[in-house]
Amino acid sequence: LPMMHVLDISWFTACMREGRPVAVETRHLIQDAFEVLAEFYEFNEVEGPCLAFRRAASVLKSLAWSVRRLGATEGLPCLGERSKSVMEEILQSGRSFEVEKILSDERYQTLKLFTSVFGVGPKTAEKWYRRGLRSFSDILAEPSIHLNRMQQSGFRHYGDISRAVSRAEARALGNIIDEAVRAITADGAAALTGGFRRGKEFGHDVDFIVTTPEVGREDRLLTDIIESLKQQGILLYCDYQASTFDQSKLPSHKFEAMDHFAKCFLILRLDCSRVDGGLNSVEGDSRGWRAVRVDLVSPPVDRYAFTLLGWTGSRQFERDLRRFARSERRMLLDNHALYDKTKDSDDSARPVRLISNAWGREARRSERDKG
């Protein structure tokens, strides 16, 4: 991320996460333990410890060395008392009593299973658990349960969409989206973002930003793409959310998990013949296709840079970057803008707009060069 240099945040370990040499198992044990604890608190809707364990896990993920002694982690940020005691226990005995208790807990196991379905969050999972349901067949056999459209697709394509998406599959989907965009507008472009843009080999979905140089056209661009996917017979599920973006309301002072741009959450049918080296699924290969989760977001082009930064992730990195902007630079960063609180809003909006425009141009140029 070139933005890293711009913001001078090389001090922060979470930025250096990807692409580092992977070190030793104990560290992964500890990392997994933290993630289980974070999830346990998420299921219980206790936000503080949940975020603390998430942050601790991501700090460990960033290390280029293996953890052998607790003392070695002394200078690391974000490791609190509880993280340290879990870490110590694992370093000494190779396991954590607390984590093992959670893993064998029926409620945790059930919520984990239920939330693995697309469209099922912790609240719905909890509701089903309270009603005594413990398995997918319990849910599907229960006549009083009404599944919404998203959950129905989640169950229908469960096998496929819980299987990782490979880089080759992401590339194939990139071609499909790119072709759709270009058939609609010759100067439009689709850029790969999310985990694959960070260099990951596998993902749970594939994320793209689609743009057109014509500000105001982006909403219709997205609905046109969806129509094209439908025409091609590869649209298995679509949740489209129209833009609620209002330039005059920038900057937004409250934290927003979601941006206001036009976006859609899709399940697409990916044919084997489009993927070099075949599909990442055994059944899929004999069937000739698999289902894949795809996200598209379509900001106005002058917001492209911020969207690209925001959607590249990881979620933890975005949280850290926003916190850094706020506390170290007195700036507000979200998927829409970077706003300097120390300056008059009119003044500060101008350079940001310039950078943003320049990046939008840059993106279009590099997309064209590729084409």
- Residues labelled as active-site residues: 205, 207, 295
Which of these, 225, 229, 227, lies nearest to 190 by C-alpha position?
A: 225
Nearer CB in complex with ligand CTP: 195/360: 195
CA dihedral 212, 217, 219, 220 (to 10 degrees): -100
Instruction: Select the span of 31-39, 102-110, 176-184, 197-205 touching Mn ion (CB under 5 A).
Output: 197-205
Least separation in angstroms between CB 334 and ligand CTP: 9
Q: How far is CA 167 from CA 21, 181, 197, 308, in A?
A: 20, 21, 10, 19
Residue 335 touches which member of ligand CTP, Mn ion, none, C-beta under 5-8 Å by kind: ligand CTP
Q: Where are the beta strands (DSSP E) in the chain?
A: 165-166, 189-193, 202-203, 206-211, 235-241, 262-271, 289-298, 331-333, 338-340
Question: Which of 126, 178, 205, 259: binder of Mn ion (CB under 5 A)?
Answer: 205
Closer by beta carbon to ligand CTP, 335 or else 356? 335
Candidate residues 313, 322, 341, 357; the one interacting with ligand CTP per rule CB under 6 A: 313
The answer to whether residues 259 and 284 touch, using CB atoms and an 8 Å cutoff, is: no
Instruction: Choose, by CB under 5 A, the member of 119, 154, 188, 194 that binds Mn ion.
Output: 194
Query: Does 311 engage in binding with ligand CTP (CB under 6 A)?
Result: yes
Instruction: Give the whole-angstrom CA distance, residue 338 versus residue 351.
Output: 10
Alpha-carbon distance of 63 to 65, in angstroms, equals 5
Radius of gyration of the chain (CA): 22
Place of tokens 């489009």: 274
Pairing of strands 206-211, 289-298: parallel
CA–CA dist 292, 9 (Å, integer) = 35
Report, in Å, the least distance between residue 109 CB and ligand CTP.
Answer: 21
Binding mask of the shown chain, residues 279 to 318, with x at each position contacting Mn ion by CB under 5 A: ----------------x-----------------------
The least CB distance from residue 37 to ligand CTP, in Å, is: 20
Give yes or no for a cis peptide into 314 (omega within 30° of 0): yes
Q: Choose the contact partner of 251 out of ligand CTP, Mn ion, none; CB within 5 to 8 A by kind.
A: none
Smallest gap from Cβ 235 to ligand CTP, in A, equals 19
Q: Which among 119, 118, 142 has a CA at the least distance from the CA of 129?
A: 142
Is 42 an interacting residue with respect to Mn ion (CB under 5 A)?
no
Q: If contact means CB under 5 to 8 A according to the sort of partner, which of Mn ion, ligand CTP, none does residue 318 touch?
A: ligand CTP
User: Binder to ligand CTP among 185, 223, 314, 357 (CB under 6 A)?
Assistant: 314
CA distances from 140 to 107, 108, 136, 152, 295 (A): 19, 20, 6, 10, 27
Select the binding partner of residue 315 from ligand CTP, Mn ion, none (C-beta < 5 to 8 A, by kind): ligand CTP
Q: Would you count residue 334 as binding ligand CTP (CB under 6 A)?
A: no
The footprint of ligand CTP on residues 192-231 (CB under 6 A) is 194-195, 200, 203-205, 207
Number of residues that bind ligand CTP (CB under 6 A): 17
| DSSP-derived 3-state class of residue 101 | helix
For residues 36 and 308, which CB has a smaller minimum distance to ligand CTP in the complex? Answer: 308
Q: Which of 39, 126, 259, 271 binds ligand CTP (CB under 6 A)?
A: 259
- Tell me the closest approach of the beta carbon of residue 245 to ligand CTP, in angstroms: 13
Taking alpha carbons only, the member of 187, 179, 262, 300 closest to residue 228 is 179
Q: Are strands 289-298 and 235-241 parallel, antiparallel or unpaired?
A: unpaired
Considering beta carbons, is residue 1 or 91 the nearer one to ligand CTP? 1
Give residue number: closest CB to Mn ion.
194
Tell me the C-alpha distance between 225 and 239, whole Å.
Answer: 13
Q: Which residue is nearest to ligand CTP (CB)?
A: 313
Binding site for Mn ion (CB under 5 A): 194-195, 203-205, 207, 295
Binding site for ligand CTP (CB under 6 A): 194-195, 200, 203-205, 207, 258-259, 295, 310-311, 313-315, 318, 335
